[in-house]
Structure 1
Amino acid sequence: MKQFLRVKPGALLLSVMSGMASAQQFGGHISASSGESDNAYKSETRLLTERQDTYEVALAGDYTNQFLSGTAEYTGLDRRFAEHSQEDVRTLDGAASLMLGAPTDPVDLQLKHSRHTLLSAPDEINVTTNQDEREIVSVIPRVKKRISAADMVLASADFTQIDFTKNELNNSKRTTAALSWIRRASKVSNINLQAQQSDIKFDNFDSADYRYTNAVVVYSTQLRNLSYSLAVGYNRSERDSGDNYGSPTYAFSTSYKTPLHSFKLMSSKAITDSSMGNGNVRGVNQNPDNDGAFKVDQIERVNTEVSWGTQALCIKCTLSLSLHQNKDDYLLLPDEGRQEGGSASFTYSFTEDIKASYKASDLRQRFVGSLIGRDYDYKTQRLELAIGIVESFSFRVFMELEDRDSDDNDRTYNEEFVGAALSYAF
């Protein structure tokens, strides 16, 4: 389990501090699961039945007082393969944030850390040899000045280091300076004028270094059940080599929540790169992907996500639906990636201690450029029955189905996995 802590000292300190600060609101779980795969190699022709074991530790907590606020959520996995179809692997996924200073203080400091597992090659199957981990550490000091009862000026700097466990070409450092003017337009809405300049340097790929400029105006509203935000502006990418690209940028998000329904919609267009991607922010798509970390380049990304959850069908059940669409255009390389998909999940509670759930997802991945001809469709299903045994302990039995259909027969397979798990929550 030592490899769970294979993070930078600063990142480890941040997660520990957040966990300590969150002691009053702290929780997590420990679980061990074992099951049998009927196609451990994930191959159409090379079949192997194998026992696979997973050990999981999850911790989460948050804390707020007048001087600081912190939040942390991490999951460590130890996966083992009895017949060595894949390499045994230990991973850590999650994020932490620590804010030193109150919203009314003239100066504050935010420390952030995140770690996420990605696919190394976007067209290859999801096995441990095709997985990489991206770690992001940020230090963000801010200075605030209130110039009237309704107006505030905020200046900030952002020092971020991004490291990949395997693909070190995408390691980068970025320094950002930002200036914002925030005006309170009403009791429930704000207007924000924002400009930023970033200097991005790749540790092992100097020719990809670039400067990023962004200017937007943001309008946001927070009502009792409804909130939304709209940002429009312009962004520009300029490489040290002289290549540059500029385009309009936008970001729209809205959420609506009642006792029985919750709805979220997010859509954006912006320039990112193969190092930063989405910044380890989790979206509705829970299927494995590489988040642009393929070849070193800037990327113009257009992304839309929508999700809806309801308990209106019956008192004991919950239905959730989501859709997503993502388009990545590499700015210099002749590569494009297009992804769209959706998922549905349904949970029914027979009693307080017995629950059944079903989840299905469907993903379509299309490529243009060097990966043309590697398109694939990926479908998953999971049926689970969870039973509370005694206080804090639960037992689960589950069946998972994977169906991958690719233009390349070597990347086409069907797999059935049946297993059971014992968990302790605290």
Structure 2
Amino acid sequence: MTYVVTQACCNDATCVAVCPVNCIHPTPDEAQYARTEMLYIDPDTCIDCGACADVCPVEAIAPDSDLTPETEIYKDLNAAYFLGNPTVSGPTEVPKEPVVVAERPGPLRVAIVGSGPSAFYAAEELLKRRDIDVEVSMFERLPVVGGLVRFGVAPDHQTTKAVERVFARTAGRNGFRAFLGVEVGRDLSVDELLDHHHAVIHAGGASDDRKLGIPGEDLPGSFAAREFVAWYNGHPDYADRTFDLSGRRAVVIGNGNVALDVARILARDPERLVPGDIAEHALDVLRRSAIEEVVVLGRRGPEHGAFTTPELLALGSLPELDVTVHGGYDAPEGASIKLQTIAEYAHRRPQPGRRRITLRFQAAPVEILGGTRVEGLRIAPYGQAGPGEDLDASLVLRS
């Protein structure tokens, strides 16, 4: 029996540290770690000890004997990684470079601005060291910590949100303090932080979004996906936003995981989001939604889709909606599991009366149409000569 990673994991890498035979890859010391979709367990080396499953904060690891029809494909996904990325598994020790610290009185004091995943991972790396004494002060402008985990992860991905258990462990370490409701630049300055700390780490994330740069982008009904996500997750800065879901079609521009998240929330049966932590004001609007189709628009082909394979697989397993591919698609021989999955969706037959998510590739947004608000989106073949096409839509989200 072998253990299998069965979802897009948190990449916390706690499982890597406890594996006695180094069979989980890529490790933080390998180049692929920075860009991997998830971690993978080598089926030829796993010794069935279960240590990785015991420490996984999001319960993403299971023995292959416990796989369900929906998660069985992850066994192939794990095995496929090692065919293309041969690694040497086995007991190993990774030497750590010593940290040279200048002489100074007292502990190393570090301020971290922000309280999301990057902030907590930075704090953990500092506080777990045994060769130096460290104190970390975390500053968060909101009254709660969590950042993207709290306000960015979709409410129907509760296992992903469970990574907060890792943050709780960090918050419980000696030398950690958090100051909530404190905004750097309003309540205190960076210079004031430096007066009391040896270093300041900025981990606040992006506060704005990229524009498409096309006509009509500022019409009512055109939003950044970031705003929509923050709204349904109850972010206090976005609780008063208004999203009109009275039309029959919404378009999400982008091919990443956030694009799939917002499409899924728009198309799902709202009652399947309960229980959960979706904001009540968003749930009330979604219950009255008239949207029948959500088009997820990608400029390039399926092979360039930025969404991860686990997120794509999860999309097709939802029982209350259909997933289709505009224009059809056949995966080439030897294609990845991601492309095979897209081809499988392309051959599915939508069932009458169900909401639908349509993946559409090779289509670039040219103009958002409408007078006083969004009425449609003009698209054109990306990088090819050809006529454009107008899609009726009452909501456009750029992701």
Q: Normalised by the size of structure 1, how large is the TM-score? A: 0.23
- Higher share of residues assigned helix: 2
Q: Normalised by the size of structure 2, how large is the TM-score? A: 0.24
